[in-house]
Amino acid sequence: MTYIPTVNQTLTDMSKRDNFFDSKMVVNLMLVLTLMLSAIYYLNYSEEIQDEVTTVIVNSLNDANNSLAEQESDRK
């Protein structure tokens, strides 16, 4: 025996599917908006971000260099 849905069941299934796609679309739009805002923020503050990253890397390399120099002086 073949299952044939009634009109009400078919409409209910379609509306559930539409709600599912609508929620996915909302989530995708939120993600796109977040990415766009992040890109705008980065473009506005890129020089400051670059300066901060450069400072952190240079300080880290200086600390590593000083640590190696102390290890060498302790060996002698």
Report which residue type is found at 43. Answer: L
Distance CA 28, CA 40 (A): 18
Distance CA 65, CA 55 (A): 15
Average per-residue pLDDT for the chain: 83
Q: Per-residue confidence at 74, pLDDT binned at 50, 70, 90?
A: confident
Whether the per-residue pLDDT at 4 is higher than 90: the answer is: no
Kindly give the residue spans of alpha helices, DSSP state H, lying in the chain.
7-75
